[in-house]
Amino acid sequence: MICSFLSLPPVVLALLKGLAVICVIFPIAGACSMAERKVSAWLQGRFGPNRVIVPWFEWVPFLGRGLQRLGVFNLLADGGKLLFKEDPLPGHVNKFYFMIAPAIAIIPAFTTVAVVPFGAYLDQAGQVVPLMLANVDVGVLAVFAIASLGIYSMILAGWASNSKYPFLGSVRASAQLVSYELSLTLSVLPLFLWVNAPGTEGSLSLVRAVAFQSGTWHGFSAASWGGVWFVFLMPVSAFVFLIALFAETNRLPFDMIESEADLVGGFHTEYGSFKWSLFFVAEYAHMTVGSGVFVLLFFGGWNPLPWLPIGTLFGWLGLVPSTGHFSYAIAITQGVLSIAVFLAKVLFMIFFFMWVRWTVPRFRYDQVMRIGWRRLLPLAIANVVVYAIVIALLQRS
């Protein structure tokens, strides 16, 4: 929409898209750090961050004190502190790999955003057009492939630190990734078996998954299956995907990679200041993208409710132009509304991640491995087999 309107050269568009990813994900990841402290304070009956304030905001009635109580200015203070704090380089580390490990953590976290749709609008023909940076046909596969590269940053950081605790953390990282990557991939196979019916063009696109969940209610008939969110249609797949997502994003109760109880700080023990913060920006970015993928696959994407597609909502609000006419103002309004619906679901998932962290105690390392190999993987395999049989029977009937 905007790209065709501006008619910019492809190189300029690519640079603008990359800049947009940095300008959006970096602040979100930083805000997640502050939000996590506020959520933990709320769960534990504390106030949380509520002291920092910019001097000239102190005189603004209501707004200044309100933002101070919310802890918004703590985000600025933390960013400034980590950016300008002394960043010593230990003498015993492998300096080259030690320095590039945080950058390797950031790159996959930001790259996966390019193939994740985050909204939609209606074109002149009334068809839903997704808003995304790169509409590739192997969307979910690209997310899994690129996101898994982030593990190399943990391995490099632990190995280059030349210290036993970081090295043990990097070993745990590689083992945990292999243990839960299999379950994560198997959990989405039934979903795409269901979406890609025989005789149709096969696709692993996240847009296809959302389109299947965009149907309307047609009574108690097979036609109504198209509007059911996959979290209700395939609850076991959603459960396996969510558990594996916790492990893949290194969140409690699966954060054995940096378990401070036995590894001091894990793979980032020797890091400090800005380089240390990059690892956590990458973690929150992975959590945000993972929440977005979960919403797209199982929560209907930008559709507000089951059997209520975003196109129907546009019609109720009078945001559908007459046939053959196209209004950029209406299209932008549609895009903003769909992004708001999608973002609300993603924020709920991020809150759920934080809620679990401050509620569920950490597993032991042997328990994490046992859950991955002896519980989650057999459940994921059984789920694929059951749905393959069910789908085959439904197609024969």
What is d(CA 36, CA 74) in angstroms, rounded to the nearest whole number?
Answer: 12
Taking only Cα atoms into account, the Rg of the chain, rounded to an integer number of angstroms, comes to: 23
**Percentage with pLDDT > 90 across the chain:** 34
What is the structure's pLDDT at 5?
44
Average pLDDT over residues 300-306: 92
Greater model confidence, 320 or 239: 239
CA nearest 272: which of 25, 20, 102? 102
HEC sequence for 12-25? HHHHHHHHHHHHHH
For residue 189, the model assigns a pLDDT of: 94
Asked if 117 and 210 touch (Cβ cutoff 8 Å), the reply is yes
In DSSP terms, 122 is beta-bridged to 128
Q: How many CB atoms lie within 10 A of CB 19?
A: 10
For the segment 313-342, the average pLDDT, to the nearest whole number, is: 83
pLDDT higher than threshold 90 for residue 169? no
Express each pLDDT in 360-394 by its tens digit. 888 888 899 999 999 999 999 999 999 999 988 88
Q: How sure is the predictor about 3, in pLDDT bands with cuts at 50, 70 and 90?
A: very low
Residues 6 or more apart whose CB falls under 8 angstroms from that of 123 comprise 129, 326
Q: How far apart are CA 129 and CA 59, in angstroms?
A: 46
Burial 40-50 (b: 16+ CB within 10 A, else e): bbeeeeeebbb
Which of 7-21, 81-95, 271-285, 356-370 shows the lowest mean pLDDT across its residues?
7-21
Q: State which amino acid sits at residue 281.
A: V
Can you give the pLDDT at residue 388?
92
CB neighbours of residue 228 within 10 Å: 17
Q: Are strands 128-131 and 119-122 parallel, antiparallel or unpaired?
A: antiparallel
pLDDT of residue 209 exceeding 80: yes
Half-sphere exposure of 63 (CA within 13 A, CB side): 6
Q: Which tokens go with 282?
A: 């990458």
Mean pLDDT of 67-89: 84
The CA-atom distances, in angstroms, between 50 and each of 67, 81, 350 are 8, 17, 21
Q: Which residues contact 227 (CB under 8 A, 6 or more apart)?
A: 213, 214, 215, 216, 217, 306, 307, 308, 309
Exposure on the CB side of residue 78, measured as CA atoms within 13 A:
21
Band (pLDDT 50/70/90 cuts) for residue 133 is confident
Contact by Cβ (8 Å): 382, 188: no
- CA nearest to 191, candidates 124, 236, 161, 158: 236
User: Which amino acid is located at 252 in the chain?
Assistant: L
Q: What is the pLDDT of residue 84?
A: 86
Burial 108-123 (b: 16+ CB within 10 A, else e): bbbbbbbbbbbbbbbe
Identity of the amino acid at 300: G
User: How many angstroms separate the CA atoms of 195 and 210, rounded?
Assistant: 10
How far lies 164's CA from each of 151, 224, 265, 342, in Å?
A: 18, 57, 11, 43
Please report the pLDDT score of residue 216 as a whole number: 83
Model pLDDT, residue 34: 86
Query: CB count, 10 Å around CB of 132?
Result: 20
